[in-house]
Chains A and B, each alone.
Chain A
Amino acid sequence: MQQFLNVTLGGLSQGAIYAAFALALVLIWRATRIINFAQGSMAMFSTYIALVLIESGQSYWAGFAAALLAGLVLGALIERVVIRPVEGGPELNAVIVTLGLFVAIQALAAILFGASFESFPAPFGLSGFSVGEFTVAFTPFSAFVIGSVVVVMLALVALFRFTDIGLRMRASAFNQEVARLLGVRVGNMLTLGWAFAAVVGSLAGLLIAGGNLVHPAYMDPVIVYGFVAAVLGGLESPAGAVVGGLLIGLALSYVSGYLGSELVTLAALGILVAVLLVRPHGLFSRTTARRV
Chain B
Amino acid sequence: MTSPGVSETRYLGTRTDPAPLFAATGVTVRFGGLTALDDVSLAALPREVHGVIGPNGAGKTTLFNVCCGFVRPDAGTLSWRGREIGDLRPHRLAGMGIARTLQGLGLFRGLTVVENVMVGADRFHRSGFLSGLFALPRSTADERRLRERAWHAMSEAGVAGYAAAYPGSLPYPVQKRVALARALATEPDLLLLDEPASGLGHDEIEELGAFVRGLTERMAVILVDHHMDLVMSACDRITVLDFGRVVAAGSPGEVRDDPAVIDAYLGEAADRGGEHD
Residues of A that sit less than 8 Å from B by CB: 72, 155, 158-159, 162-168, 170-171, 173-175, 177-186, 188, 192, 195
Q: For residue B133, which residues in chain A have a CB less than 8 angstroms away from its CB?
A: 72, 192, 195
- Decide if A182 touches B111 in the complex (CB within 8 Å): no
Q: For residue A175, which residues in chain B have a CB less than 8 angstroms away from its CB?
A: 106, 108
- Asked, given contacts A174-B109, A178-B102, whether A167 binds B137 with beta carbons under 8 Å apart, the answer is no
Q: For residue A155, which residues in chain B have a CB less than 8 angstroms away from its CB?
A: 135
Q: Which residue of A lies closest to B70 (CB)?
A: A177
Q: Which residue of B lies closest to A187 (CB)?
A: B91
B217-270: which have CB < 8 Å to A? none
- Decide if A183 touches B108 in the complex (CB within 8 Å): no
Task: Tell me, in angstroms, the Cα distance from A174 to B122 when the chains sit together.
Answer: 16
Cβ of B119 under 8 Å from chain A: yes
Q: Which of A164, A168, A182, A195 is in CB contact (< 8 Å) with B182?
A: A182
What would be 30 A-B contacts, judged by CB atoms less than 8 Å apart?
A: A158-B137, A163-B136, A164-B125, A164-B127, A165-B127, A165-B135, A167-B111, A167-B118, A168-B119, A170-B115, A173-B110, A174-B108, A175-B108, A177-B90, A178-B102, A178-B106, A179-B108, A179-B119, A181-B93, A181-B94, A181-B99, A182-B120, A182-B182, A183-B91, A183-B93, A183-B122, A184-B122, A186-B91, A188-B129, A192-B129
17 extra interface residue pairs, beta carbon distance < 8 Å, beyond A167-B122, A182-B122, A184-B122: A159-B135, A163-B132, A163-B135, A164-B146, A165-B132, A167-B119, A181-B93, A181-B99, A181-B100, A182-B119, A182-B120, A182-B182, A183-B94, A184-B119, A188-B129, A188-B132, A192-B132
- Asked, given contacts A167-B119, A170-B111, A175-B106, whether A181 binds B90 with beta carbons under 8 Å apart, the answer is yes
**Chain A residues touching B, majority SS:** helix
Q: Which residue of A lies closest to B146 (CB)?
A: A164
B169-222: which have CB < 8 Å to A? 182, 186
Minimal beta-carbon separation of B13 from chain A (angstroms): 35
Task: Tell me, in angstroms, the Cα distance from A203 to B135 when the chains sit together.
Answer: 17
**B85-99 interface code vs A (CB 8 A; 1 in, 0 out):** 000001111110001
Task: Tell me, in angstroms, the Cα distance from A174 to B105 when the chains sit together.
Answer: 13
- Asked, given contacts A168-B119, A168-B122, A170-B111, whether A163 binds B93 with beta carbons under 8 Å apart, the answer is no
Q: For residue B186, which residues in chain A have a CB less than 8 angstroms away from its CB?
A: 182-183
- Asked, given contacts A170-B111, A174-B108, whether A180 binds B90 with beta carbons under 8 Å apart, the answer is yes
Task: Tell me, in angstroms, the Cα distance from A179 to B186 when the chains sit together.
Answer: 12
A72, A163, A170, A183 — most chain B CB neighbours (10 Å): A183
Minimal beta-carbon separation of A196 from chain B (angstroms): 8
B102, B106, B125 — most chain A CB neighbours (10 Å): B106
- Decide if B119 touches A171 in the complex (CB within 8 Å): yes
Task: Tell me, in angstroms, the Cα distance from A125 to B142 when the chains sit together.
Answer: 45
Residues of B that sit less than 8 Å from A by CB: 68, 70, 90-95, 99-100, 102, 106-111, 115, 118-120, 122-123, 125, 127, 129, 131-133, 135-138, 142, 146, 182, 186
Q: For residue B146, which residues in chain A have a CB less than 8 angstroms away from its CB?
A: 164
Q: Which of A158, A178, A183, A188 is in CB contact (< 8 Å) with B123?
A: A183
Task: Tell me, in angstroms, the Cα distance from A163 to B225 when the chains sit together.
Answer: 37
- Decide if B118 touches A185 in the complex (CB within 8 Å): no
- Decide if A170 touches B108 in the complex (CB within 8 Å): yes
B70, B111, B131, B135 — most chain A CB neighbours (10 Å): B135
- Decide if B137 touches A182 in the complex (CB within 8 Å): no
- Decide if B111 touches A174 in the complex (CB within 8 Å): yes
Task: Tell me, in angstroms, the Cα distance from A166 to B102 when the chains sit together.
Answer: 24
- Decide if B106 touches A177 in the complex (CB within 8 Å): yes
B91, B111, B131 — most chain A CB neighbours (10 Å): B91
Minimal beta-carbon separation of A207 from chain B (angstroms): 21
Task: Tell me, in angstroms, the Cα distance from A192 to B129 when the chains sit together.
Answer: 9
Q: For residue B182, which residues in chain A have a CB less than 8 angstroms away from its CB?
A: 182
- Asked, given contacts A167-B119, A171-B111, A177-B106, whether A183 binds B95 with beta carbons under 8 Å apart, the answer is yes
Minimal beta-carbon separation of B229 from chain A (angstroms): 28
A166, A170, A171, A177 — most chain B CB neighbours (10 Å): A171
Task: Tell me, in angstroms, the Cα distance from A174 to B108 when the chains sit together.
Answer: 6
Q: For residue B68, which residues in chain A have a CB less than 8 angstroms away from its CB?
A: 181
Task: Tell me, in angstroms, the Cα distance from A166 to B138 when the chains sit together.
Answer: 11
Q: For residue B106, which residues in chain A have a CB less than 8 angstroms away from its CB?
A: 175, 177-178, 181
Q: For residue B123, which residues in chain A have a CB less than 8 angstroms away from its CB?
A: 182-183
Minimal beta-carbon separation of B61 from chain A (angstroms): 14
Minimal beta-carbon separation of B195 from chain A (angstroms): 16
Task: Tell me, in angstroms, the Cα distance from A168 to B109 when the chains sit together.
Answer: 14
- Asked, given contacts A175-B106, A182-B122, A183-B95, whether A167 binds B115 with beta carbons under 8 Å apart, the answer is yes
